[in-house]
Amino acid sequence: MDTKSPFSTVLITGASSGIGEAFAHVAAGEGHPLILVARGEAELHRVRGVVIARYAVPVSIIVHDLSVPGAGDALANELEARKLDVDIIINNAGFGLVGKASELSRQDQLKMIDLNVRSLADITLRFLPQMIAKGRGGVINVASTAAFMPGPNMAVYFASKAFVLSFTDALHEETRGTGVTFTTLSPGPVETGFQRRAGMKQARALSRLIPKTAMAVAQAGWAGFKEGERLVVPGTMNKITAYALRGAPRRMILPVIRRAMGAAKAK
Residues with catalytic roles? 157
- Residue 14: φ, ψ to 5°: 60, 40
User: Which residues are within 8 A (CB) of 254 and not within 5 positions of it... i.e. 6 or more apart?
Assistant: 150, 152
* Cα dihedral 170, 176, 179, 181 sign: positive
| CB 91 within 8 Å of CB 141 | yes
d(CA 121, CA 116): 9
Exposure class string for 228-244: b at 16+ Cβ within 10 A, else e: ebbbbbbbeebbebbee
Using DSSP's 3-state secondary structure scheme, residue 33 falls into coil
DSSP for 161-215, please give it: HHHHHHHHHHHHHHTTTTT-EEEEE----B-STHHHHHTB--GGGT-SSPPBPHH
* Cα dihedral 167, 114, 186, 239 sign: negative
Nearest to 10 by CA among 18, 216, 48, 28: 28
